[in-house]
A and B are shown apart, each in its own frame.
Chain A
Amino acid sequence: MISFKMPSLGADMEDGTLVEWRKQPGDLLKRGDIIADVDTQKGLIEIEFFGEGILEKHLVAEGEKIPVGTVMALIRGESDEITEEIPQENIPDQEKMVEPAKVEEGKIKVPVASPQKAGGERVRISPLAKKIAEAHQLDISKISGTGPDGAIVKADIDKCLREGQEKKAKAKTDPIVTEPRYEPESKLAIPESEAIRKAVAAAMSRSNQDIPHYYLEKRIDFSKAMLWLKEANKERSVQQRLLPVALMIKAVAKALDDVPDLNAVWEDGLERKNEINIGFVVSLRTGGIMLPAILNADTLSVDGIMERLNDLIPRARAFKLRSSELSKSTFTITSIGEGGADKVYGVIYPPQVGIVGFGEIRDEAIVAEGMIGIKPVVDVTLAADHRATDGLIGSKFLASLNKYLQNPENL
């Protein structure tokens, strides 16, 4: 059985409200199906399921607000016949267990005993029964209650445990249940700017409280990049023209590939990420910021990145992002653009471990090959989590970034 959980759509998300079930028990689910609409601080999100199976049970009622990681539904996958043959330690039978979910990325905490029951009703369970169920990791959504109004009481748990002991005597193996990756897709309704402000406030406060930032900066000669862009844009129709930021994002993605310790999260330890998903700070005209991610930026061409930006930025401003674009970034870029500040020192978006800031591209007198010349430069800063990396790593990253920006044709 697959436990489908409330996804986290960023460090600032604690819970979400189930607005509507889009799939009903018995429905066949295929990869990419939208299972439910969930309302979050960032708007209404369509949640996609990226596995296959049959929806067995809803565990959460529409209208209910639940914390991230709560099991929302059970889905019977193809492999369930097999798991039924392999009862787990201390687990009554295949129905009574909560799979120790192996989450693909990060460590989402899962409440062991889900407070929800099929049909969207809240599970009625006595505090004592709940305590025992949690101690034994029983999935209470699978236990039928004999207490008042069908509440689960201690006797029901005892019965369940007795049955479990019998089962356990027959076979004993390690649990092998993996949860298929979900990649929730979402559309965002227009949230109040207040909600955005709150979300930003929460994430940034947490960052400044928890993360010991260190800062490095490097002035990067941008003349070759500008020249390359100028040439490149000559050949491109107006719709396909590139902005310097596309180049910057690509260069950052490649530099992260060289210095993977920065493409990571810190959760009681450094955890490198396999994908390089670059979060890009988009400021909203109404105040606040959005952080859509360019997924797998290292595998995209500069044109590909520009295409993503053309798609993402207007959607971010219209609050029409998908949840995967909100939740999956592994590193962040903030860019000041034209007419702004010379330098920007970022605040890390937790649990990421770094943010790179590009100031305005401007002409400066710089020394190169013993000569003073006027060249376009950009001041690049790195703010990184000192728990995760040290200055040497950060310095390597900036050096690598510079290397790529000096050879834009290779990006």
Chain B
Amino acid sequence: MSKMKTITYREALKSAIREALQKDERVFLMGEDVGHYGGAFAVSKGLLKEFGPGRIMDVPLSESGFTGAGIGAALAGMRPIVEIMTVNFSLLAMDQIINNAATLLHMSGGQLNVPVVIRMGCGIGRQLAAQHSHSWEPFYAHVPGINVLAVGTHEDARGMLLTALESPDPVILFEYTSMLNLEAEIIEDAGAVDICKAKVRREGIDLSLITYGTGVYKSLEAAEVLSKDGMDIEVIDLRVLRPLDEETFLTSIAKTHKALVVEDAWKSVSISSEISARIMEKAFFELDLPVERLCGVEVPIPYPKHLEDASVPQVQDIVEKVRKILKP
């Protein structure tokens, strides 16, 4: 058994970037304030000094422009890591991401791969108000041609970027800013992880709790609480939002016959909608209860702390929901 170490989510992300820069000359980081300022959330603090301005690149406030430049660099053979400070600003870069990154392989008849990795800070819980608290995972997961990853654990914060950089196609990483200071134990020599499978984070037989991003730790915590009531909950971290790994959650449903999908994103036309539909299509006769969902309340995310907390599923919400499902 490897030795464990305690690490924050931020440190895990940073050590992944550092390892990537060390391993591959073609890798460089570009984004707003990633250099001199050390990153809006201090993820890249100190990297400029370590790797120099050629590899840690501050860019103007122009998401469309620098994301396009990153895509161009990827086309030219580099392995850029484009940091979009927060997912909210990625709306400005969507044309580049969807019309170029996602489609060029197809438009060029398979000649042009776009090996760009785009990291986006995201999530709710830091009182950044409606314009800085979006959950755009469903938007991106809608688009064929890109891989969409939700970094829901420290292990994945440490490992997903490395594998993403090896992908010949564009990868978007959703990193959750509310988790940056969160500490967790990971194995000392943690490194690259797969970016194609969902993971069973906790095994159980009574209900499949399917989630991603910030929902993972919340669900694990809820499962702990519920276990004291004798409810044995399986927690599945989707990790890869596109292409979805159906096998893992369908296998789980075949065991538990009940499913609750948890996410921060608004309920309508969300990841949970898709999961629910796939369960219905492919595991209908395994279901013993209707698939349930716990999602973000469909309002612009409020600024006040208590309202912000109320707008997305919290541990207690998950506990109560599961109780209601299993012990009506």
Report A-B touching, CB under 8 Å: yes
Question: Using a CB–CB distance below 8 Å, which chain A residues touch chain B?
Answer: 126-131, 147-148, 151, 153-154
Whether the Cβ atoms of A127 and B328 lie closer than 8 Å is: no
Could you list 15 A-B pairs, sorted by A, with CB under 8 Å?
A126-B287, A127-B284, A127-B286, A128-B257, A128-B285, A128-B286, A128-B287, A128-B288, A130-B285, A147-B289, A147-B328, A148-B290, A148-B328, A153-B289, A154-B257
Of the candidates A127, A130, A148, A153, the one having the most CB atoms from chain B within 10 angstroms of its own CB is A127
Q: Which residues of B contact A130 (CB under 8 A)?
A: 285
B289: chain A residues at CB < 8 Å are 126, 147-148, 151, 153
**Nearest-neighbor residue (CB-CB) of B286 within chain A:** A128
Cα-based distance from A147 to B327 in the complex (angstroms): 9
Contact of B285 among A131, A147, A151 (CB under 8 A): A131
Beta-carbon contacts under 8 Å, B257-311 to A: 257, 284-290
Within 8 Å CB of A151, what residues of B?
A: 289
| CA gap between A129 and B258 in the complex, in Å | 12
Docked CA distance A129–B290 (Å): 12
How far is it, in angstroms, between the C-alpha of A130 and the C-alpha of B287 when the chains are bound? 10
State how many angstroms separate the Cβ of B40 from the closest Cβ of chain A.
46
Give the complex CA separation of A131 and B284 in angstroms.
10
> Tally of A-B residue pairs with Cβ under 8 A?
28
Residues of the A chain whose Cβ atoms lie less than 8 Å from the Cβ of B287: 126-128
Docked pose: A154 CA to B286 CA in angstroms:
10
Which residues of A sit under 8 angstroms from B257, Cβ to Cβ?
126, 128, 154
Q: How far does the alpha carbon of A148 sit from the alpha carbon of B285 in the complex, in Å? A: 17
CA of A147 to CA of B286 in the docked complex: distance in angstroms? 15
Residues of B near A154 (CB, < 8 A) are 257, 288
Q: Within 8 Å CB of A131, what residues of B?
A: 285
Q: Determine the chain B residues whose CB is within 8 A of the CB of A129 once the complex forms.
A: 288
Q: Which residues of B contact A128 (CB under 8 A)?
A: 257, 285-288
State in angstroms the CA–CA spacing of A131 and B257 once bound together. 12
Given contacts A127-B284, A147-B328, 14 further A-B contacts (CB under 8 A): A126-B287, A126-B289, A127-B285, A127-B286, A127-B287, A128-B257, A128-B286, A128-B287, A128-B288, A129-B288, A131-B285, A147-B288, A151-B289, A153-B289
CB distance from B269 to the nearest CB of A (A): 24
Q: Are B288 and A126 in contact (CB under 8 A)?
A: yes
Encode contact with A along B124-168: 1 for CB under 8 Å, 0 otherwise: 000000000000000000000000000000000000000000000
Counting from the closest, the 6 A-B pairs by CB-CB distance are A128-B288, A126-B288, A154-B288, A131-B285, A127-B285, A153-B288
The docked-state distance in angstroms from the alpha carbon of A63 to that of B6 is 65
Residue of B nearest to A125 (CB): B288
Instruction: Specify which chain B residues have a CB less than 8 angstroms from the CB of A153 in the assembled complex.
Output: 288-289
Kindly report which residue of chain B lies nearest to residue A156, judged by CB atoms.
B288
Bound Cα distance from A127 to B257, whole angstroms:
10
How distant is B170 from chain A, measured CB to nearest CB, in Å?
A: 38
Chain B residue with minimal CB distance to A147? Answer: B289
Task: Give the Cβ gap from B53 to chain A, nearest Cβ, in Å.
Answer: 60
Residues of B within 8 A of A127 (CB): 284-288
Question: What residues on B are CB-neighbors of A126 within 8 Å?
Answer: 257, 287-289
C-alpha gap A126/B259 in the complex (Å): 13
B251 CB → nearest A CB, Å: 15
What 0/1 readout, one digit per residue, does chain B (52-74) give for beta carbons within 8 Å of chain A?
00000000000000000000000
Residue of B nearest to A146 (CB): B328
Question: Nearest CB to that of A131 among chain B residues?
Answer: B285
Residue in A closest to B328 when the chains form the complex, CB atoms? A148
The residues of A that contact B328 with a CB separation of less than 8 Å are 147-148
Q: Which among B257, B286, B289 has the greatest number of chain A C-beta atoms within 10 A?
A: B289
Q: How far is the CB of A133 from chain B (nearest CB, A)?
A: 12
Output the least CB separation between A157 and chain B (Å): 9
Q: Given the complex of chains A and B, what is the CA–CA distance between A151 and B289 in angstroms?
A: 9
| Bound Cα distance A56, B257 (Å) | 34
Of the candidates B257, B288, B290, the one having the most CB atoms from chain A within 10 angstroms of its own CB is B288
Cα separation A126 to B258 with both chains bound (whole Å): 10
| A360 to B257 Cα, complex, angstroms | 68
Q: What residue of chain A has the Cβ atom nearest to residue B287's Cβ?
A: A127
A122–B288 CA distance with the chains assembled, in angstroms:
17
Cα of A275 to Cα of B287 in the assembled complex, Å: 48
B183 to chain A minimum Cβ distance, whole angstroms, is: 40
* Bound form: Cα–Cα A151–B290 in Å: 11
Cβ–Cβ < 8 Å partners of A148 in chain B: 289-290, 328
